[in-house]
Amino acid sequence: MERRKYRFRILNASNATTFTLALSSVLPFVQIATDGGLMARPAELRRIPMAMAERVEVVIDFSAYTAGESVVLHNTEKQGPLGEIMRFDITGLAASDHGQLPDHLSVIENLRPEAAVRTRTFTFGPRPELKDHFPPIYWAINGNRFDPERAQAEPRLGDVEIWRFVYERNPWRQTHPPHVHLVNFQILDRNGQGPHEYESGWKDTLRLDSGDNVRVIMRFDGYRGRYLMHCHNLEHEDYDMMMRFDVV
């Protein structure tokens, strides 16, 4: 890497592995975007958690290092080689990077809870299944396995709704990242508190860990039709943690 700023778009493309990104130098990232594009303003963060299918865009300023240094991008949730994602080797003199990041990046419409015409709750958790496999469960949304012939929600085109995602406590403590097709959403609150800085702005996937209760708000615009909402832990998705919703 030259000694200047670089912009990275990062996707967690794992089947079932979560990440918390950090630099070995403990210097911060500057996050500028989430799943749905630019944030309203940059956020300086030392750690950025990412569930499966979440995306972040960051700027790393390598001018803070000297030539010959190496910096490792870590997943702090793992130890040893599993915690080492990639290494940056810094070379040469400082190079021009065409100026500073602006204080404001985008104008984001602020969807207000009072604009919502209804609230829906979706619980994520396992259900027992008497079959010869381990674990002896299938993964369910609101207790239901995926049925392509049945819609679990029918929002109207143009409506604003609040969807509440709840992680049912269970012995299998695996992350469920809900992913909603068609629309982007904004996180209203997580466990009664405001969203984390790294998940502000437009999202289409969020991290749902054991015991989490997260409310999001979205407007169903674009198109009528049949769409999916599913867990982006792919083993869970493939084993029925998925639902159909129809925009009518």
- Locate 175 and state its tokens: 């992350």
Q: What is the pLDDT of residues 67-83, one digit of tens each?
A: 999 999 999 999 999 99
Q: Is 137 or 163 the better-scoring residue by pLDDT? A: 163
Tell me: pLDDT of 96 over 80: no
Token code pair at residue 241: 């943690």
Closest CA to 50 of 9, 89, 91: 9
Span 115-157, pLDDT tens digits: 999 999 999 999 988 777 677 889 999 999 999 999 999 999 9
Q: What angle do CA 81, 86, 71 make, to 5 degrees?
A: 105
Q: 78 CB contacts (<8 Å, ≥6 apart)?
A: none
Sheet strand arrangement including 160-167: 137-141, 118-128, 160-167, 213-219, 185-190
Contacts of 155 (CB under 8 A, 6+ apart): 161, 220, 245, 247, 248
Task: Please give the structure tokens belonging to residue 192.
Answer: 């009664």
> What is the distance between the alpha carbons of residues 32 and 42, in angstroms, rounded to a whole number?
5
| Residue 28 preceded by cis peptide, ω within 30 | no
Each residue's pLDDT tens digit, 182-191: 999 999 999 9
